[in-house]
Structure 1
Amino acid sequence: MQEVFTSFEKEIIYTITALILLFIFKFILTTTANKVGKRADINLARVKLIVRYINFLVIFIAIFVLLIVWGVEITQVTVVFSSVFAVIGVGLFAVWSILSNITSGVIMFFSCPYKIGDEIKIHDKDFPFTAIIEDIKAFQIHLRTSEGELITYPNNLILQKAVSLVKKDAFIDSSDEGKDAL
């Protein structure tokens, strides 16, 4: 056993160092996402979704780094990863909107001017409507119209269409109105 440690001493030290650095990197990214979520008053479910994306990214980087540390040549790693991404790219070409919606969800997490409970108006020439945001998921936003109709609207369309904020925290405002009536 001692012979194994002495023959792979450098690789073991690099592996431990890489794992520690990746753990610190993951901790920094997760902490930043949580702080952004708290500061912007973003729903906890959306923060957890971004943390899941961060975990996937760190695992991907860890695999890449550990393959290089243990002696796999960079050209071999790039051939494997490019082949895998080519197959995934061709396989996902038919469902590109899913990736578009996930990407839009991440963008909306960091720079969305409206939150759950806000009333928005979507200026679509074919189907304009006003609704309250009930939930923001990975792929779509759940909107509730004044008639009680639930609309699931894709995240990528929220970023493509003109959207205006009608009333901030419409849930809270409507409940406050009920208190005044009493």
Structure 2
Amino acid sequence: MYEVFFTYRIEIAYTIAIALILGIFQFILRKAAHKVGKHSEINITRTRLMFKYINILVLIIAVFLFSFAWGMGLDKLSIIFSSAFAVIGVALFAIWSILSNITSGIIMFFSFPYRIGDKILIHDKDMPIEAVIEDIKAFHLHLRTEHGELTTYPNNLILQKAVTLIKKDVYLDEGKDSL
């Protein structure tokens, strides 16, 4: 055991340092997302979704840094990551609408002016929708119409259409707690 530690002492030290730095980085990002969510009164489930995105980002950075710390050169890392990103890029191009909905969900987390419980009108020329926002997910909104119908509306479309706020937090007006 001593020989292994002595042989790889520099790599182990880098690994510990990277783990500590990434742990602090992840903590800061999660605190910031939580603070934005709390300040903007965003539902906790949406904040937890941001936590998942932060975890994925930190994991990708960790794989890159740990590979580099354990002796994989930049030339080998660049080949591996460029190949991986090429495959991911082709896959994401094939499913670009999912990627655009996720990106829209992230944008909506930080700057969407409407909240769960707000009654909105989406000005869609083909089918205008007047409904209450029941939930905001990673890919779509859950909208409840006056007739009780549940409509899912893609996040990327909600950012492209004009939206009018009809009534702020309908659930509180009805005596219910906000979701």
Query: What TM-score, normalized by structure 1, do the two folds share?
Result: 0.92
Is 1:47 aligned to residue 47 of structure 2? yes
Letter in 1 for 2:115: K
In 1: Cα distance, 2:79 partner to 2:153 partner: 38
User: For residues 98-137 of structure 1, what are the structure 2 equivalents within 5 Å?
Assistant: 98-137=98-137
Letter in 2 for 1:119: K
Aligned to 2:38: 38
- When the two chains are superposed, the root-mean-square deviation of aligned CA atoms in Å is 1.2
Unaligned runs of 5+ in 2: none
Secondary structure of the 1:117 match is coil
In 1: Cα distance, 2:34 partner to 2:92 partner: 30
In 2: Cα distance, 1:143 partner to 1:126 partner: 17
Aligned to 2:138: 138
User: For residues 1-182 of structure 1, what are the structure 2 equivalents within 5 Å?
Assistant: 1-175=1-175
What percent of counterpart residues are identical?
60
Moved over 4 A (4+): none
Aligned to 1:180: none
Structure with more helix by fraction: 1
Unaligned runs of 5+ in 1: 177-182
TM superposition shift of 1:162: 1.0
TM superposition shift of 1:175: 3.3
Letter in 2 for 1:124: D
Letter in 2 for 1:28: I
- The count of residues paired between Structure 1 and Structure 2 equals 176
Q: What does the per-residue CA deviation read over 1:140-175, in whole Å, with 9 as the maximum and x for residues that have no partner? A: 000011122211000011111111211110111233
TM superposition shift of 1:4: 1.9
Letter in 1 for 2:15: T
